[in-house]
């Protein structure tokens, strides 16, 4: 469902490329675990794959569309329709309640809104179904998100990513604040929802102990040819 080739990305303020990746693939329904230490470029890669950052070199094809040929606005639209993201700090909007936060996943995409209605009759009913199945009962739906525990906030973020059945779920270190039992429980809940519609999951973490839960795992340090190259400035200083 996703193929990336010859990716090359350098942050403007950085002396050397952050990512040089010859090839990266995701199959439909695959649950892939991508790991690497802090600063190795995991979030940068996710930003490229999700079309948040424009590509400087190479190509990314997802669901038959070549993302690097789209304008930033079209990439935003494509992302809203086809990618659900769970962020490390969850990015829940504090002025919306948990239910309203989940509904955001539908409000930026007619396609996802249509799919939610087809599943449960309305976006509201689908948001409630997801929250319930992810372990949040009705008493939490209209509270302030600030009053929820980290684990509850994480489930709201997962429901927001899943609503409207986006083909790809990207999870960027969503379990780093939890103990190991809660991490595994959360991942299993995520998988059971993803399985309902054969979603693809790209899960990123520095915690390799989670890898056995996934179909496949990849080390970003092994994948990224920039990881082994010397920074340009260091070379200059050494001369």
Ligand X SMILES: Nc1ncnc2c1ncn2[C@@H]1O[C@H](COP(=O)(O)OP(=O)(O)OP(=O)(O)O)[C@@H](O)[C@H]1O
d(Cα 106, Cα 127) in Å, to the nearest integer?
A: 9
53 near ligand X (CB under 6 A):
no
The site string for ligand X over 198-227 (x = CB under 6 A, - otherwise) reads --------x---------------------
d(Cα 177, Cα 157) in Å, to the nearest integer?
A: 14
Angle at 6 between CA 233 and CA 205, to 5 degrees: 75
38 near ligand X (CB under 6 A):
yes
Residue whose CB is less far from ligand X, 13 or 228: 13
85 near ligand X (CB under 6 A):
no
Round the CA-based radius of gyration of the chain to a whole number and report it: 18
Other Cβ atoms closer than 10 A to 32: 19
Q: Are 166 and 197 in contact (CB under 8 A)?
A: no
Q: Which tokens go with 61?
A: 């094809």
Measured from the CB of residue 117, what is the shortest distance to ligand X in angstroms?
35
43 near ligand X (CB under 6 A):
yes
d(Cα 63, Cα 177) in Å, to the nearest integer?
A: 33
The binder of ligand X chosen from 2, 40, 161, 226 (CB under 6 A) = 40
Helical H runs in 25-163?
42-49, 72-82, 98-107, 110-120, 123-133, 150-162
d(Cα 79, Cα 1) in Å, to the nearest integer?
A: 14
36 near ligand X (CB under 6 A):
yes
Which listed range, 38-46, 156-164, 186-194, 223-231, lies at the site for ligand X (CB under 6 A)? 38-46
Measured from the CB of residue 18, what is the shortest distance to ligand X in angstroms?
4
34 near ligand X (CB under 6 A):
no
The binder of ligand X chosen from 13, 71, 139, 239 (CB under 6 A) = 13
Residue whose CB is less far from ligand X, 3 or 43: 43
18 near ligand X (CB under 6 A):
yes
Which listed range, 34-42, 69-77, 113-121, 195-203, lies at the site for ligand X (CB under 6 A)? 34-42
d(Cα 2, Cα 47) in Å, to the nearest integer?
A: 14
Q: Are 34 and 201 in contact (CB under 8 A)?
A: no
Q: State the number of binding residues for ligand X (CB under 6 A).
A: 13
Measured from the CB of residue 47, what is the shortest distance to ligand X in angstroms?
8
The binder of ligand X chosen from 44, 113, 153, 200 (CB under 6 A) = 44
112 near ligand X (CB under 6 A):
no
Please enumerate in sequence order all residues whose Cβ is within 8 A of that of 212, keeping only pairs 6 or more positions apart, or say none: none
Residues lying near ligand X in the complex (CB under 6 A) are found at 11, 13-14, 18, 36, 38-44, 206
């Amino acid at each position: 469902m996703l193929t990336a080739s010859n990716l090359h990305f350098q942050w403007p303020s950085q002396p050397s490329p952050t990512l040089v990746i010859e090839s990266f693939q995701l199959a439909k329904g695959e649950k892939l675990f991508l790991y690497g230490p802090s600063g190795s470029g995991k979030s940068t890669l996710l930003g490229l794959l999700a079309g948040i950052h424009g590509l400087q070199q190479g190509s990314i094809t997802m669901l038959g569309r070549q993302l690097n040929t789209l304008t930033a606005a079209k990439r935003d639209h494509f992302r809203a329709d086809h990618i659900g993201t769970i962020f490390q700090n969850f990015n829940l909007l504090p002025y919306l309640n948990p239910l309203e936060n989940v509904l955001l996943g539908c409000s930026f995409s007619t396609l996802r809104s249509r799919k939610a209605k087809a599943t449960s009759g309305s976006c509201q009913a689908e948001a409630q179904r997801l929250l319930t199945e992810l372990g949040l009962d009705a008493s939490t739906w209209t509270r302030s998100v600030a009053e929820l525990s980290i684990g509850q906030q994480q489930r709201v973020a997962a429901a927001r990513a899943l609503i409207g059945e986006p083909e790809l779920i990207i999870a960027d270190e969503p379990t780093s604040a939890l103990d190991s039992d809660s991490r595994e429980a959360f991942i299993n809940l995520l998988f059971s929802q993803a399985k309902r519609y054969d979603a693809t999951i790209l899960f990123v973490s520095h915690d390799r102990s989670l890898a056995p839960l996934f179909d496949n795992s990849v080390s970003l340090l092994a994948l990224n040819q920039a990881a082994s190259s010397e920074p340009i400035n260091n070379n200059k200083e050494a001369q």
